[in-house]
Amino acid sequence: MAEPIAVASGVTVPEAALSVRATRSSGPGGQNVNKVASRVELRVDLDRVEGLPDEARTRLHALAAGRLDAEGRLLVTSQRTRDQHRNLEDAREKVRRLVQRALVTPKRRKPTRATAAARARRLARKREHSDKKRARVAVRGEGD
């Protein structure tokens, strides 16, 4: 079966959390496409990922929300190449990158205010735009 995926120090996706299935690919391969199962489906039980802090686990579930199967496992597919082994490595890399993204704590947004000059410029642009539109209405009304 598939070996564990090392994500960061202390964070791994164990072998027990992974299941691999190969299917026929729709990608490159010519007549090979009809014969060889080169597309790889890698399913990951996200609750079994080891060494993941609770906040990161929450972020991981949020990041993977659109790619969960009926049993709540992450479904990652790869059919980039004609080789099943390379597609498996590609799918494993996708999982590793996703878990790595979940480990990064997003920066908190610091609320800022526009400067007085920026507000003045914005209002001046709005006035110019309004004047331009008002001029068009006056011209249109004369021709009727």
Residues 134 and 81 both lie in one domain: no
Whether 141 is covered by a domain: the verdict is yes
Q: Cα 139 to the chain's mean position, in Å?
A: 51
Whether 110 is covered by a domain: the verdict is no
The candidate with the shortest Cα–Cα distance to 72, out of 93, 99, 100, 43, is 43
Q: Are 39 and 87 in contact (CB under 8 A)?
A: yes
Residues 94 and 140 both lie in one domain: no
Q: Are 84 and 38 in contact (CB under 8 A)?
A: yes
Residues 124 and 91 both lie in one domain: no
Residues 124 and 85 both lie in one domain: no
Residues 85 and 33 both lie in one domain: yes
Greatest alpha-carbon pair distance for the chain in Å reads 80
CATH number, domain at 57?
A: 3.30.160.20
Whether 108 is covered by a domain: the verdict is no
Query: How many CB atoms lie under 10 A from the CB of residue 89?
Result: 14
Residue type at 43? Answer: R
Q: Is 20 helix (H, G, I), strand (E, B) or coil?
A: strand
In angstroms, the CA 82 to CA 91 distance is 14
Residues 120 and 97 both lie in one domain: no
pLDDT on residue 32: 67
Residues 10 and 44 both lie in one domain: yes
Domain count across the chain: 2
In angstroms, the CA 42 to CA 89 distance is 10
Domain with 87 in it: 5-103
Over its length of 144 residues, how does the chain's per-residue pLDDT go in tens digits? 568 888 888 888 888 888 888 888 775 666 666 777 888 999 999 888 888 899 999 999 999 899 888 888 889 999 888 888 999 999 999 999 999 999 999 999 999 999 999 999 999 999 999 999 998 876 665 555
